[in-house]
Structure 1
Amino acid sequence: MQSYEQKVSDALKRFTLDEIQVENCKSLYKQYEEYLRLNQKIAWERVIALKDEAFMNYENLPEPSPAQTKDLLKKVACLKLNGGLGTSMGCLGPKSLLNVRDNKSFLDFSLKQLEYLNTTYGSNVPLVLMNSFNTDKDTLAHLEKVKPAVTVYNFNQFELPRMDAESKLPAEVSSQNQFYPPGHGYVYECLKRSGIVEKLLAQGVEWLFISNADNLGAVLDPRIAQFCVSSDKEFVSEQTLKTEMDVKGGVLMQYDGSIHLLESAQVPAEHMNDFCDTNTFKYFNVNNLWVNLKALMKHQNLVLDLIVNPKTVEGKKVIQLEVAAGAAIANFNSVGVVVPRKRFQPVKKSGDLLLLMSDCFEVTKEFLLQQVVEKLPVVTSTALVNEFLNMFQNIPSLKEAHKVEIDGQVKCGKNVKIVGNFTVQKGESVELKDGQVVGK
């Protein structure tokens, strides 16, 4: 009788995969076997929440002088995780190419931020992009169009066949749905395979700052860079205080004697309230990561915890086996740094985009989106991005808003102001006329 491992090997022969992809696929399937054996969750009794003293605090990090910053910038590079399509928002292309404001996309802002730093300090910090097979073509076309004044390197992350949820073997679906990018955790291996690490090391780069393409708060910060370069740490993970909006965000924990990233998908159902308790886990992972490139090159096989992501494709139940970049923390001499909330400005839904487009933020000369209100309103919208952009061809003032919920249809005129709470329920259609003040 064939072993499960042999069945997987035989099934993978149907696909056009290189040797490294095959080995990684086999490794994920083996991890999945262990995942099932352990009843799919971690052992909660071995989870230890980190105390405040286990973290570094951004506010205690010294501010480098201009001369120190100039020297630091020779030793760092930035990488953006650029594999996402933003399907939850209904994006039709790479999420990083979605316009945020001033006719600039996420990618444009990232390029401008680095260009400002390089111009100010006479440096040449490069931008590295990890694309996916979904985003590579459009991203390269955009770079060719804008011709950035920043050195850009790019490479693609792995693509692997989805797993059939019933047979636990590679799924048989149509060619356009065969493959998926197995999480941004493969950034390290794909980066090493690309040859870019060697190029960066040859240029004197010691540390790589990794962040999500849709997080405009994740700028290269000299204070954190100085801490990285001067410390004995090999890996630094940024954390920030949890709010009611972030209770299911991944957290750092001590597990079997080392620091690990704990994601909500790994938590047993009966302990989800413990995981979400902000008194127990005060901070959550914002996926801003710093890795020492020499240390990275020494690690041949990083051990990354498995994330099991069930999906339905063409009416078939499938499983996407994924790994997260932040999980690499367990492989290095590492520490978490508690950072201000401004370093976490992601756009996951249309409501997030409306907030960033609004007068609650201003664009600084450094091309940062700076919050200009003491407390941001909570803005939610069920609209997909094209529908949203059609409804809000004019962006309302949200400076005096508290909670905005858009589930119905809106036509927003010019110079509209929303104050307090404002709701458009599903099935409702509301026209906001020029200069109108709404809310209660």
Structure 2
Amino acid sequence: MASQSLQDLKGVMDKSAASVVEERLRAMNEATNDDLSKLTDAEMKGFVELYARYMVGRSKKKEISWDLIQQPSENMLQKYSTLPDVTEGECTSLLSKLAVMKLNGGLGTSMGCKGPKSVIEVRGDTTFLDLIVQQIEHLNKTYPGANVPLLLMNSFNTDAETTKIIQKYQDTNVTITTFQQSRYPRIIKESLEPMPVTHEGYAHSDWYPPGHGDFFQSIYASGLVDTLLAQGKEYIFVSNVDNLGATVDLNILKNIVQRNVEYCMELTDKTRADIKGGTIISYDGKVSLLEVAQVPAKYIEEFKSVSKFKVFNTNNIWVSLRAIKRVMQEGTMKLDIIVNNKEVNGQKVIQLETAIGAAIGYFNNACGVNVPRSRFLPVKSTSDLLLMQSNMYTLKSGSLIMNPARQFATTPVIKLGTEFKKVGQYLERFGSIPDVLELDHLTVSGDVSFGANTSLKGTVIVVANPGNKIMIPAGSVIENKVVVGSLHVIPH
């Protein structure tokens, strides 16, 4: 049975397709010589449970009832401006209850970089990880006795290199702990058979990290929940490692403590660029997260509208450690499955993933906070990187602060073409980062380069037609211009 093809999985559903898969995986584990290529018991259990739910869900798709969706109450979604202020005397006490964790499983490959994304240089030669350590070190130095620890949840892709990288921080006032999230086998789309398909052992490409919803299972299985509780920590603040706005906010923490909140999600106002982001709702009287994948086709446009669903999830999450322990011990958490279609080595596969935001319904007294956009500064592309490296922001104790010389509360919209996609290409095309303090919108397409000390203002569109090249001379000031064609000399 262990080696049989799973082409006939539908025929064995009554006997539990999951048990067939588990038997096959256990046989593969026994045949694998390398311990690093084996599934742990926790990974085996987690994958089989996820797989079983997926198989059942394929035949019994859960439909959301649109009529039960209501806007969240003020208690469910608080305005940031209504949060209690923190006095100087409360800071150390609040911080002593807190641990900070960054989701550090991603690679920098989409931006043309090798290794963990967290080691991409975002301000001069300072990396994401450098900034995060500086932020927490500043807290620990400013409030002696706080001792806020930093945890990094790595994937099997980033764990080994991150472990080496953090040695550089051993002389800082920050305790850094890493742990590895689960590692599951990809599933062949046609046969629904977990990889690998041979008995020669697992290849690196057979595995995937199952999304940040795996945080709860992985941190609990690591023993770190009990360790943190024993240290007097009560809450953990989780965010993406590439969100430079996700700093410790004591107003949010005080609100959580005062209201005995077990789970708090930060959301920010939606713009037309954020129409697919998940949003908080009241569903059948209970706080929940609504993702675009859950929305029936006929309501998609309504979901994307900024008039009805005004905020979206930043993935900045605050959770009670005691509540994590209780929920994991109860074994009740069954997060919605995200089916991620991929192609690996010419083979169409699927990855079953979960998201941390979907857990909001499993915690007592859960809520959201509508935070300023400044708490959501992700770097997903070189377009984002240009903004972070520009004079739009200044750096203070590892945190990015909007330049007070900027006359608008909003930041410019920047869209760089495919020629700028990789960090190396991007750096080659800028003599220096332009002055963007007065910029509203920048679109660049084609073979375009910028000389040093350029200044961009208003709406600037630069398009080099195929086969042509545009070089913006050093010192140029471009304001409300559309530049199209080939080489142009822009007057100072």
Do they fold alike, i.e. is TM over 0.5?
yes
Name the structure 2 match of 1:114.
136
Q: Displacement, 1:11?
A: 3.1
Equivalent position to 2:192, from 147, 168, 175: 168
Name the structure 1 match of 2:179.
155
Contact 2:96-2:233 within 8 A present in 1 as well: yes
Contact 1:74-1:205 within 8 A present in 2 as well: yes
Q: Displacement, 1:426?
A: 6.4
Q: Please state whether the residue corresponding to 1:233 is helix, strand or coil.
A: coil
Q: In 2, distance between residues paired with 1:87 and 1:254?
A: 38
Q: Please state whether the residue corresponding to 1:218 is helix, strand or coil.
A: coil
Unaligned stretches of 5+ in structure 2?
A: 1-10, 30-37, 482-492
Range 107-116 or range 86-95, more displaced: 86-95
| Greater relative contact order, per chain length (Cα 8 Å cut-off, separation 6+) | 1
Name the structure 1 match of 2:430.
392
Equivalent position to 2:162, from 119, 136, 139: 139
Within 5 Å, which residues of 2 pair with 1:374-389? 374=408, 375-381=410-416, 382=418, 383-389=421-427
Equivalent position to 1:354, from 381, 386, 397: 386
Distance 1:425 1:191, change over 3 A: farther
Name the structure 2 match of 1:421.
460
Letter of the 1:305 partner, please give it: D
For the pair 1:305 / 2:336, whether they are aligned, the reply is: yes
Distance 1:164 1:21, change over 3 A: same
Equivalent position to 2:444, from 382, 389, 406: 406
Contact 1:416-1:434 within 8 A present in 2 as well: yes
For the pair 1:12 / 2:47, whether they are aligned, the reply is: no
Q: In 2, distance between residues paired with 1:96 and 1:180?
A: 19
Q: Displacement, 1:323?
A: 0.4
Name the structure 1 match of 2:48.
26
Q: In 1, distance between residues paired with 2:83 and 2:374?
A: 16
Name the structure 2 match of 1:70.
92
Contact 2:389-2:433 within 8 A present in 1 as well: yes
**Could you give the per-residue CA deviations for residues 309-356 of structure 1, whole angstroms, max 9, x where no partner exists?**
111111111111100011111100101111111000001111000011
Equivalent position to 1:245, from 273, 282, 285: 273
Contact 1:308-1:322 within 8 A present in 2 as well: yes
Within 5 Å, which residues of 2 pair with 1:32-431? 32-39=54-61, 42-52=64-74, 54-122=76-144, 123-147=146-170, 148-172=172-196, 175-300=203-328, 301=331, 302-333=333-364, 334-364=366-396, 366-372=397-403, 373=406, 374=408, 375-381=410-416, 382=418, 383-419=421-457, 420-425=459-464, 427=466, 428-431=468-471
Q: Displacement, 1:39?
A: 4.2
**Could you give the per-residue CA deviations for residues 233-292 of structure 1, whole angstroms, max 9, x where no partner exists?**
111111111011111111112334422222222223322111111111111110110001
Q: In 1, distance between residues paired with 2:266 and 2:155?
A: 24
TM-score (norm 2): 0.85
Range 14-23 or range 309-318, more displaced: 14-23
Q: In 1, distance between residues paired with 2:434 and 2:388?
A: 12
Unaligned stretches of 5+ in structure 1?
A: none
Range 23-32 or range 255-264, more displaced: 255-264
Contact 2:73-2:282 within 8 A present in 1 as well: no
Q: In 1, distance between residues paired with 2:266 and 2:186?
A: 31
Range 165-174 or range 266-275, more displaced: 165-174
> Number of paired residues?
439
Q: In 1, distance between residues paired with 2:182 and 2:274?
A: 29
Q: In 1, distance between residues paired with 2:109 and 2:358?
A: 24
Mark the structure with the bigger radius of gyration: 2
Name the structure 2 match of 1:435.
475
Letter of the 1:377 partner, please give it: P
Q: In 2, distance between residues paired with 1:399 and 1:348?
A: 21
Range 90-99 or range 51-60, more displaced: 51-60
Q: Please state whether the residue corresponding to 1:245 is helix, strand or coil.
A: helix
Range 302-311 or range 82-91, more displaced: 82-91
Q: Displacement, 1:44?
A: 3.5
Range 284-293 or range 384-393, more displaced: 384-393
Letter of the 2:413 partner, please give it: V
Q: In 2, distance between residues paired with 1:141 and 1:392?
A: 32
Q: In 2, distance between residues paired with 1:156 and 1:56?
A: 33
TM-score (norm 1): 0.95
Q: In 2, distance between residues paired with 1:143 and 1:83?
A: 15
